[in-house]
Amino acid sequence: MLIMSEEHYLELCENPVQFENASSVNNVFFDEANKQVFAVRSGGATGVVVKGPDDKSSVAFRMDDKGEVKCIKFSIGNKILAVQRTPKSVDFINFMPDFPHLEFSQECKTKNASVLGFCWTNWNEIVFITDQGIEFYQVLPDKRSLKLLKSQSINVNWYMYCPETAVILLSTTVQGNVLQPFAFKSGTMSKMSKFEIELPVVPKPAKLSLSERDIAVATIYGQLYVMYLKHHSRTTNSPCAEVVLYHLPREGSCKKTNVLKLNTTGKFALNVVDNLVVVHHQSSQTSIIFDIKLREPDCALNVHQPVLPARSIHPYRIPLTGTMPALTTCLGSAL
């Protein structure tokens, strides 16, 4: 939540999501699309507690313990649950009143491929992302089966999903800095123009150099941007880190449009709140704010300084009841 005061710009929302912390018997997952936190407790039967952004979207249920849960997400509207337990398949459970709550499973079609994860793009449409490409399915809950709509073969290092625009970003090539986006809408999959992230140093021999930790996708002022957290070498003239923004249109080529100067080094996290880019600096425990709309007219590449001095997030205390709770920071879209 964005606030304005002399000491703080940001604070937690009034009712932050609380959940049991991760442990040897409890795994925690976050679904960006539905803004849900899953706490999965194993042992005999698997107990699942789902906490949403409000009390109405919180549910609890049990399912058979068929192995370690690697990923778990509801489709839009909590109609169908998808659970990945193995590198080859994803299991499904109907949560609609008119259908039996029986599990059914779908293996990825590509031979010798491993499923890196999956994304729901509609209440009954899902994408499997494997290390060898993507597979777009329609889920048929009445038949307890899936129908393959389209697939694309491509070597994948890692992926990222923007639920607001239903765009999946795939990291490809040995260095990982060539990104291939795909857009999804109403049963269709469209291949968008691929683009390359400019690395500060090109390694020799070539190796994976771009990590998903340094990439975020967000909608800012109604446009989709890919944000790259660029760390410069300490030996360069400008060792301070910066955030490079690439504008990714539905049609046409992706272009580098903005550079946010962080004026420091270290570990960072990114948020977008009310169309403002908020960069959190770990060691100083402060956040700085950028507004990309403040730019020079007709400038191809806009360089930005923070619009306000760095400030810490407003302190917040949560009373402890029973086990230690964890919480999400409710700063808009956590990236």
| Chain segment 187-232, per-residue pLDDT in tens | 999 999 999 999 998 888 999 999 999 999 999 999 999 999 999 8
Domain that residue 110 falls in: 1-156
The pLDDT score that the predictor gives to residue 91 is: 97
Question: Does 146 share its domain with 196?
Answer: no
Q: Can you tell me which residue has the tokens 């301070």?
A: 240
Mean pLDDT, range 237-265, rounded to an integer: 93
* Residue 167 within any structural domain of the chain: no
Question: Does 270 share its domain with 211?
Answer: yes
Q: Can you tell me which residue has the tokens 């169908």?
A: 80
Buried b (16+ CB within 10 A) or exposed e, 225-244: bbbbbbbeeeeeeeeebbbb
Task: Answer yes or no: pTM beyond 0.75.
Answer: yes
Overall number of domains in the chain: 2
The pLDDT score that the predictor gives to residue 213 is: 95
* Residue 106 within any structural domain of the chain: yes
Q: What is the CATH number of the domain that holds 92?
A: 2.130.10.10
Question: Does 40 share its domain with 142?
Answer: yes
| Chain segment 47-84, per-residue pLDDT in tens | 999 998 876 668 899 998 999 999 999 999 999 999 99
Question: Does 141 share its domain with 177?
Answer: no
SS3 288: strand
Q: Is the pLDDT of residue 151 over 80?
A: yes
* Residue 129 within any structural domain of the chain: yes
Q: 2 falls in which pLDDT band (50, 70, 90)? A: low
The pLDDT score that the predictor gives to residue 235 is: 63
| Chain segment 225-247, per-residue pLDDT in tens | 999 999 987 666 668 999 999 99
* Residue 276 within any structural domain of the chain: yes
